[in-house]
Amino acid sequence: MNLLELLATVLSVIAVSSYFLSGACFWKNREWWGYALAIVGWVANLGIFVKNWYINGYPPFASMYQVLSDISLLFVLLMALILWLRPEHKWIAPYFCFGAMVPLIGTVFMDRNMRWSLMPALRSPYFVPHVFSYVLSYALCAVAFLICVIGLFQKRNRERYEDATVLILRIAFPFMTLGLLLGALWADQVWGNYWMWDIKEVWSLITASLYLCYFHARRAEKLKKFAPLFCILGFAALIFTFLCVNVLPDSGGSMHTYT
């Protein structure tokens, strides 16, 4: 284990531990400790981001290891944004902190010193905004999914969980849509066609469509009871798009495969 890999391991342990303790403090209404530990975890997470950028020489959004690290980095920033916009929803802070742990735990089992050369297609001005839009929306959708599922088991204050889910997805969906549009522009630039029916493109469209169904169900009184179902199906499609598409038998022909 070289020095950079050891540094990445230490930073991951610090970040995961801090995020967990921060979530526990928020859960116990010890807000100042929660904020302090969230900042500690975020700074350690930022160190991983900087390390990844340093060893690769480009913004670290290309490999699965890099993207998982970036998703964790965004959780705390998104939590701060939402609590600033809607301070009455401070009760959702633990979900963001606990959510930030999960991708980082996954990176522990990956090569933390991974150098990943950019293929020519990735050397595009669309590269960073496209991936960043999706990473941001995926982090928000993960928290919305947690809150939605837990809200289904609440006999009291269920409306509070529903309102928080809608709030978070209203922020997430424009970024998801932006990622889809930027991806189409990028595809036209690189492959000469806005839509190639690539397996990842198709599942990205399915994911966005399911979240559109969620918003439609929320506005239609007769369909409102199905809104949580569309939120859950949307997140299931998101996970399939993000993680599972790459391991399908016919994924070798996909132009979006990365490790």
Reported as a single tens digit per residue, the pLDDT across 196-217 is: 888 888 899 999 999 999 999 9
Top pLDDT among 241 and 149 is at 149
Cβ pair 145, 230 in contact under 8 A: no
Q: What confidence tens digit (pLDDT) does each residue in 35-50 have?
A: 999 999 999 999 999 9
Half-sphere exposure of 161 (CA within 13 A, CB side): 19
Q: Work out the number of other CB atoms within 10 angstroms of the CB of residue 67.
A: 20
Nearest of 50, 185, 37 to residue 125 by alpha carbon: 185
Predicted confidence band at 194 (pLDDT cuts at 50, 70, 90)? confident
CA atoms of 5 and 133, how far apart (whole Å): 28
Of the chain, the percentage scoring pLDDT greater than 90 comes to 55
**pLDDT exceeds 70 at position 130:** yes
Nearest-angstrom CA–CA distance, 188 and 85: 37
Where does residue 20 rank: exposed (0-12), middle (13-18), buried (19+ CB within 10 A)? middle
Q: What is the DSSP letter of 243?
A: I
**pLDDT tens figures, 84-124:** 888 888 999 999 999 999 999 888 777 655 555 666 566 77
- The pair of three-digit structure tokens given for residue 245, joined into one six-digit string: 């598409």
Please report the pLDDT score of residue 234 as a whole number.
96
Give the mean pLDDT of 7-27. 93
- List CB contacts of 7: < 8 A, sequence separation 6 or more: 47, 51
Q: What is the mean pLDDT of the chain?
A: 87
Name, in order, each residue with C-beta under 8 angstroms of 179's C-beta and a sequence gap of 6 or more: 130, 131, 133, 134, 137, 204
Q: Look up residue 142 and give its two tokens.
A: 């993960």
Residue 1 CB neighbours (<10 A): 10
- The C-alpha torsion from 110 through 103 and 15 to 53, rounded to 10°, is 60
Ramachandran area for residue 253 (φ above 0: left; ψ -120 to 50: alpha; else beta): alpha
Q: What is the amino acid identity at position 248?
A: L
Backbone phi and psi for residue 111, each to the nearest 5 degrees, phi listed first = -75, 105
* Residue 204: predicted pLDDT: 92
